[in-house]
Structure 1
Amino acid sequence: MLAHALAAVIALATGQVRQPVPVLPFPGQTQTYNIIQWDPNQLPRIYERTDQLPLTDEEVAKLAKAGFDEAQLVKMIEQRRCACDASADGLIRLKEAGVPKGVLDAVSTHALRPNRALDLLVTLDFTGESRTAREGFLYFFVEDGEVTRVFTANLPELLARQNQHETMVDRSDILRARTVRRIQLAGQVPLKTYGPHRVMVVASASPTLTHPSQLTGAERAKAQLYTFDYPRSSLQSLCRLTAGYKRDAVLTYKWNFQGSRFECEWN
């Protein structure tokens, strides 16, 4: 099952009118992470998809109700595994749905391990031959139950160093050539709660933000909001965050934050 939590694309063209984004009630308790400390040599592996995806709780209960016998269900689970809730509450729900004991044993044995974190690939594209970012810090706020997790990147420090996964992309066209400096970082976002999560991506000149409530009105106006549904278990937990910067028309030695894109897939 491929789930695109959200594929909202913010236009990177200049001149777009943006409406201020209200500060959502992210939890007051926060944890902050500096993503430029992530290992740029460990980009996430893309898993090969199998022809048959793992069964879910609902599918196991549906097959049992449809009359598939215990041996058939156990074999299916052994072959395909099960993206099921194998906790005590999850097994009780399956039992109440009429799933046989032998199938419950198979679910407990072959269920995919619960997700504890998602892999995040961050791609930063700097278009034009500039030297530094006008807003020196990129923030990524993630709501996680009672905690707001705060990921930040110090762009001057990032741009001043040689990064392992860094490329120069020449997007030439008939009229003009555009040079794009692309930097990629990868790490893990620890998440303890399952289900819907809210995300905010914003550029700021402040190095000390710990909560979205500290954003200025101008920063909120350029922020992007996303939501994604975090499954209890999955074959992979891969999200991609892309942020775009473009050379300022007046201060040509600086890049301006233009927008972002955020999407996830769980398979």
Structure 2
Amino acid sequence: MIAHALIATLALVAGQTAPRISTSRGTPVPVFPQGEVQTINLIEWNSNQFPRIYERSDQLPLTDAEVAKLAKAGFTSAQLIKMIEERRCACDASADGLIRLKQEGVPQEVLSAISLHGLAPNRALNLLVTLDFTGESRSAREAFLYFFVEDGDITRVLTLNIPDLLQNQNAHESMVDRSDILRARLVRRIELPGQVTLTKYGPHRVLVAASASPTLTHPSQLTELERSKAQVYTFDYPRASLQNLCRLTAGYRQDAVLAYKWRFEGSRFECEWN
């Protein structure tokens, strides 16, 4: 299941214009928590390994609701245990989760199988950040890119210094040919894989914004213009899942007026859990 959890999306390849999130009209930029802030410098992810990609299967892991539904439908304990052993279970195996399943009529031996074969709880989000640069510019209009991730009372801030990134010898860098019949076009692609600790399960919000300021720690510090260009995404972080990967792609293009500068075009975000 791929969750395209987005409020604003930019079709980077097609060159379409993204809908903008504005505080003055349309959908407002959401209020992020004012509590603890944790900052991650994405350049430090440069040498990380890519996250593991699991092969897809027609039979996804069972969920709590499916186990309870099968038990109520009359499947025997032996049948349920065999399915859990073969398919695993993306279930809540915490004390509260097992109590809920017991209250829904799931037999004790099946609960034991869930405890034994259930997928481990998600503790951190695997995130692959991809930056695409189209053109031959040397610097960026807004030199810093920010990803603000809401996590309960914590705001996790992922920051990226674009000039420093472009000057680096990056471990995961390639040239992508996007030429067409009218013109040749090469895109410089830099990929940064890493993990973001998340303490809360369920809905989360991500705000992506470009800024000239190097010291932002909260979305409220963005200027009105920066907030008007920000993009907001939501995703539902599961307690357990076979796959745990979100991809965040940001695009830069050579400015039409100031050819020596990159212009931030926008972003795209998607997550895959099972």
Indicate the TM-score class for this superposition, using the shorter chain for normalisation: over 0.9
Q: Aligned pair 1:104/2:103, yes or no?
A: no
CA deviation vs aligned residue, 1:221-258 (integer Å, no higher than 9, x gap):
11100000110000011000000111111211110001
Q: What does 1:24-39 correspond to in 2, within 5 Å? A: 24-29=30-35, 30-39=37-46
- Are the aligned partners of 2:18 and 2:266 in contact in 1 as well (CA < 8 Å)? no
Distance 1:15 1:70, change over 3 A: closer
Counterpart contact for 1:14–1:258, Cα < 8 Å: no
2:185 maps to 1:184:
no
More off after superposition, 18-27 vs 44-53: 18-27
Corresponding position of 1:173: 180
TM-score of the aligned structures, taking structure 1 as reference length: 0.95
Q: Is residue 41–residue 165 contact of structure 1 (8 Å, CA) maintained in 2?
A: no
Report what 1:54 is aligned to.
Answer: 61
Q: Which amino acid aligns with 1:4?
A: A
Question: Does structure 1 residue 128 correspond to structure 2 residue 135?
Answer: yes
Q: Please give the residue correspondences for 1:192-203 in structure 2 after superposition, counting only pairs within 5 Å.
A: 192-203=199-210
SS in 2 for 1:157: helix
Change (3 A) 1:19 1:59: closer
Find the counterpart in structure 2 of residue 10 from structure 1: 10
Distance 1:169 1:38, change over 3 A: same
- Runs of 5+ unmatched residues, structure 2: none
Shift in alpha-carbon separation, 1:193–1:209, aligned structure 2, 3 A:
same
Query: C-alpha deviations, 1:168-220, integer Å up to 9, x for none?
Result: 22321222222211111000011110111011000111010000000001101
| Residue of structure 2 equivalent to 1:249 | 256
Secondary structure in 2 matching 1:221: helix
For the residue of structure 2 that corresponds to 1:10, the secondary structure is: coil
CA distance in 2, matches of 1:55, 1:4: 18
Give the structure 2 partner of residue 224 of structure 1: 231
Distance 1:232 1:19, change over 3 A: closer
CA distance in 2, matches of 1:44, 1:198: 22
Question: What is the root-mean-square deviation of aligned Cα atoms in Å?
Answer: 1.6
The one-letter code of the counterpart of 2:5 is L
CA distance in 1, matches of 2:74, 2:66: 13
Q: Are the aligned partners of 2:10 and 2:17 in contact in 1 as well (CA < 8 Å)? A: no
Q: TM-score, normalised by structure 2?
A: 0.92
1:148 aligns with 2:150: no
Shift in Å, 1:39: 3.8
Q: Which residue of 2 aligns with 1:20?
A: 22
SS at match of 1:121: strand
For the pair 1:88 / 2:95, whether they are aligned, the reply is yes
The sequence identity of aligned pairs, in percent, is 72
1:81 shift after superposition: 1.0
Query: How far apart, CA to CA, are the structure 1 residues paired with 2:2 and 2:185?
Result: 33
Contact residue 5 and residue 229 of structure 1 kept, 8 A: no
